Structure 1
Amino acid sequence: MGGYENGDSPAAVAGEDGVILGVDGGTTNTVCVCLPAAMPPPESPAAVPVLARAVSGSSNRNSVGESAALETLEQVMTQALAMANTDRSAVRAVCLAVSGVNHPSDQQRMLEWIRDLFPGNAKFYVENDSVAALASGTMGKLHGCVLIAGTGSIAYGVTEDGKVARAAGAGPVLGDWGSGYGIAAQALTAVIKAHDGRGPQTSLTQDILKKLELSSPDEIIGWTYADPSWARIAALVPVVVSSAEDGDEVANKILHDSVQELADTVIAVVRRLRLCGEADEKDKFPLVLVGGVLEGNKKWDISGEVIKCISKVFPGTNPIWPEVEPAIGAALLAWSHHRKGLKLENGS
């Protein structure tokens, strides 16, 4: 579970009222959780009764292509239902929160696709994965800002009256430089520059060569283009952090620049939505932090440095590290929509 408490409950069963599916589709992997549709409102993260959890590969269509992305999504949902000893006919609502869903046309295509998968009157919701990440920190309430820094990066915010804004999240070509891909790509570039005399010498050279089991910087070019998938490149982030912790100036500059990029991404969203207040910009707002880049390191605390930068501008920043994973956030959103629908049907 990557450090998340998912509230797995062996006693939880699907029951006659059906199930809810929440999917967090990322550039590195895709997670689907299954919850009972009739569960009561959870009083705490540990109280979420997870029936099943399945994991598969990337479902970001911009990274792996639309066909492969949809295949992964179908596979992970099918697996979760099988693990919960139920089937598609029991599904009451699904929230697909998928990276690479950036436009209403993306949502519409995915909605048309998923409607063909499930019979009956199930309800479907398609969002960017940042929405599920925010919900994972607020237990299903969409208010505040979330910063995701994993293979890619994005900041997404929602006001209490439903206004939304986002920054970054456009992929590595268009500048997600605080992301895992961005950090690792800069490190690889620094090694090549050091090798051909365009940049300073750096311990990243030997550290990356050792990690990749290569003998010369020249071989990095072939390694990179043999499979330039985003997640494969981003997997080098721990090497960059380790080099920085050992005092390498080039690695430290890469991380400092990335911290500022991530902070600027959040600042842009918060300011556009006035989450910090209208006057002195000191109002409190939740900032949910998600993604491998933001996980704690021995010395180089990337998330801590990002929070410091943001708090200098917005003193009311309230950082939240979710106790449940984004897939549960997606499931809670689907469950909330389902529950509201039942209340409307019952006239309450």
Structure 2
Amino acid sequence: MHNYLAIDAGGTSTRAVLVASSGQCLGYGSAGGGNPVSRGFEGSADALLGASAEALGGTGGTVHSATVALAGASLEMPPEPLLRRLEPLGLSHGVVIESDLLATFYSGSYHDDGHALIAGTGAVAARVEGSRLADVADGTGWLLGDSGAGFWLGREVVRAVAAALDGRGPHTALTERVLAQLDISADTPRRRFGRPGALQQLITKSYALAPIELSRFAPLVFGAGADPVARDIAGRAAAELARTLLAVLEGGLDGPLVFGGSVLTKGGSIAAAVMEEVRERAGGPCPAPVLVRDGLAGAAVLALKRHGVAVDAAVFDRITASLAALRG
């Protein structure tokens, strides 16, 4: 019986688990962001090594291999440099790089066919066939897409506040919340050229942020209650995400449907609205989505599957239950 290392390397955090062939998770570790695109190779490798070392703890023994779930462009990275950096872990059979989208799907199902939709900072959907990504929509980054996800929501929030401050848009409860987050007083005196002082500060401070940092304002949409502007933003986000999911459907929503990312898993109203629109436009029955925390359980499933270990319902349940226990 072998032990495998499974790693979910995200942009803000990296999670690792040591899993046995039986599906029993033996150790868990976490570290900072592990995406090579956003963190650079060395920063990514340090995070992967730190999370993995914590997961291994004092277990000792040989680790068969490491399966690393990475996003988008990172999938083009050759495994050899990463293997050299992970050499202290004592991997006997190298490194396998997998898609974080596929790992998210397998965090909600052990079946080899189905669909996944992720909406965190970015947004992407996939159709999975035969344990491989058969079709992918969006996931193109803040400049080209990621429609309906965290960046998109945050950008719509600050746009709505800017419009409210100079009279181009309706009053919204989002204004007070955004100004508070940016430490801007709503009573800032009007500037000499006619622009409200609070708006001028909003412009200055918003453009000082990296574009992707606008996602910090996304949670405000879910905390604004019945505010019409916030509800409109949420509704448009759901429509965008439904469009992304519909783009990868082929013959209906057969098999399991997995939702990941905080916009869907914490913004329940958006997840429900996505499903309502998909049901209307798909023209057939749709399975209830399985909500998953991240792609770590799926990385463990992939680590076993890719090395010839059969993952059935019992093994899948063992992975998810033992991982949850380790996380506490």
Aligned to 1:154: 124
The structural deviation recorded for 1:123 is 4.2
Q: 1:219 to 1:312 in 2, by over 3 A?
A: same
Amino acid in the other structure paired with 1:147? L
1:190, distance to aligned residue in structure 2 (A): 1.8
Paired position in structure 1 for 2:269: 301
Do the aligned residues in 2 keep the contact of 1:209 with 1:217 (CA within 8 Å)?
no
CA offsets 1:124-153 (integer angstroms, 9 cap, x no match) = 3212211100011113x3311100111111
Q: CA deviation at 1:110?
A: 4.2
- 3-state DSSP of counterpart to 1:285: coil
Count the aligned residue pairs: 294
Aligned to 2:322: none
Residue pair 2:265, 2:292 contacting (<8 A) in 1 also = no
Secondary structure at 1:91's aligned position in 2?
coil
Q: In 2, distance between residues paired with 1:183 and 1:331?
A: 31
Corresponding residue for residue 9 of structure 2: 25
Task: Kindly provide the CA deviation profile for residues 150-183 of structure 1, in whole angstroms up to 9, marking residues without a partner as x.
Answer: 1111101112485611011111111112111110
Q: Taking every aligned residue pair, what percent have the same amino acid on both sides?
A: 28
Per-residue deviation, residues 242-284 of structure 1 (Å, max 9, x unmatched): 22x232x2222211111011001110011xxx252xxxxxx63
One-letter identity of the residue aligned with 1:208: V
Matched, 1:236 2:208: no
Mapped pair 1:52 → 2:40: no
TM-score (structure 2 length as normaliser): 0.80
**Cα offset, 1:108, TM superposition:** 4.7
Say whether 1:145 aligns with 2:110: no
Alpha-carbon RMSD = 2.6
Q: Match for 2:99 among 114, 122, 128?
A: 128
1:246 aligns with 2:217: no
Corresponding residue number in structure 2 for 1:219: 201
In the alignment, the residues of structure 1 paired with residue 150 and residue 91 of structure 2 have an alpha-carbon distance, to the nearest angstrom, of 41
8 A contact 2:69–2:99 mirrored in 1 = yes
- DSSP 3-state at the match of 1:155: strand
Matching of residue 112 in structure 1 with residue 84 in structure 2: no
Contact 1:137 1:320 in 2 (8 A): no
Q: 1:289 aligns with which of 247, 255, 259?
A: 259
Structure 1 residue 205: Cα displacement? 0.9
Q: Is the 8 A contact 1:24 1:326 kept in 2?
A: yes
Report the TM-score, using the length of structure 1 for normalisation.
0.76
Q: Structure 2: 5+ residue runs without aligned partners?
A: 186-197, 311-328
With over 3 angstroms needed to count, the CA separation of the structure-2 counterparts of 1:67 and 1:217, relative to structure 1, is farther
Whether the 8 Å contact between 2:5 and 2:66 is mirrored in structure 1 is yes
Q: Residues 65 and 205 of structure 1: is their aligned pair in 2 closer, same or farther, counting only changes over 3 Å?
A: farther
Q: Are the counterparts in 2 of residues 285 and 317 from structure 1 also a CA contact under 8 Å?
A: no
Q: Deviations over 1:274-308 (max 9, x none)?
A: 252xxxxxx633210111111255xx611111011
Corresponding residue SS for 2:115: strand
Q: Deviations over 1:302-340 (max 9, x none)?
A: 111101111112223213324674201101111122235
- How far apart are 1:122 and its partner, in Å? 1.6
Between the aligned partners of 2:148 and 2:36, the Cα distance in structure 1 is: 21
Unpaired segments ≥5 residues, structure 1: 1-16, 40-47, 277-282, 342-348
Which residue identity does 1:246 align to in structure 2? A
- Distance in 2 (CA, whole Å) between partners of 1:133 and 1:163 is 12
Rounded to whole Å, the distance in 2 between the matches of 1:319 and 1:124 is 34
Q: What letter is aligned with 2:220?
A: V
Deviation at 1:18, TM superposition (A): 4.5
The C-alpha deviation readout for 1:195-235, integer Å capped at 9, x for no partner, is: 234433322111212234332343334443444273x4323
Q: Distance in 2 between matches of 1:123 and 1:320?
A: 34
**Equivalent residue of 1:303, what SS?**
helix
